[in-house]
């Protein structure tokens, strides 16, 4: 399991989000280098890490002094942390999140790199529904 997690982190780091935060470039990179199934798995991994950050820092975000971002900004900020890779993710602190928010050191949004995955999942669910209707 740890090897699989390391593989996903390596894939995220190879996307080089910090280089230019160009989700269109990265989407194309994902399409060119991963199968649809692998893209779905990487998207699920990234989402889980974003969710973990949300749970871990939720009270800090809304607390006093808090982390000065809107709901949308909170999502972007957490996605930014994941997009920057494993080491950045593992070393993130409330103070660092506050600093990133204060100086707007984050982009909209690493999750957009996976927008094509949403289409794959949606088509897959539609296909599955059609299959169950015909049974």
Q: What pLDDT, in 10s, does the model give residues 11-39?
A: 999 999 999 999 999 999 999 999 999 99
Cα–Cα distance, 49 to 28 (Å, whole number): 22
Most confident of 2-6, 54-58, 123-127: 54-58
Instruction: Give the pLDDT score at 58.
Output: 95
41-72 tens-digit pLDDT: 999 999 999 999 999 999 999 999 899 999 99
Report the alpha-carbon distance of residue 122 to residue 135 in Å, rounded: 20
Which residues contact residue 89 at a Cβ distance below 8 angstroms, ignoring those fewer than 6 apart?
9, 49, 53, 81, 82
Does the pTM surpass 0.85? The reply is yes
DSSP category for residue 15 = T
pLDDT at 128: 52
Percentage of the residues of the chain whose pLDDT score is greater than 90: 84
């Amino acid at each position: 399991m740890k090897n699989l997690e390391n593989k996903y982190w390596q894939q995220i780091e190879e996307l080089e989000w910090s280089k230019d935060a160009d989700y269109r470039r990265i989407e194309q990179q994902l399409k060119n280098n991963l199968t649809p199934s692998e893209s779905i798995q990487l998207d699920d991994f990234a989402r889980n890490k974003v969710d973990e950050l949300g749970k871990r820092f939720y009270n800090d975000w809304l607390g006093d002094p808090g982390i000065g971002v809107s709901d949308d900004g909170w999502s972007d900020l957490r996605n930014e942390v994941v997009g920057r890779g494993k080491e950045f993710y593992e070393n993130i602190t409330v103070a660092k999140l506050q600093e990133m928010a204060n100086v707007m050191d984050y982009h909209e949004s690493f999750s957009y790199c996976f927008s094509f995955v949403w289409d794959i999942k949606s088509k897959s669910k539609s296909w599955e529904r059609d299959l169950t209707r015909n049974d």
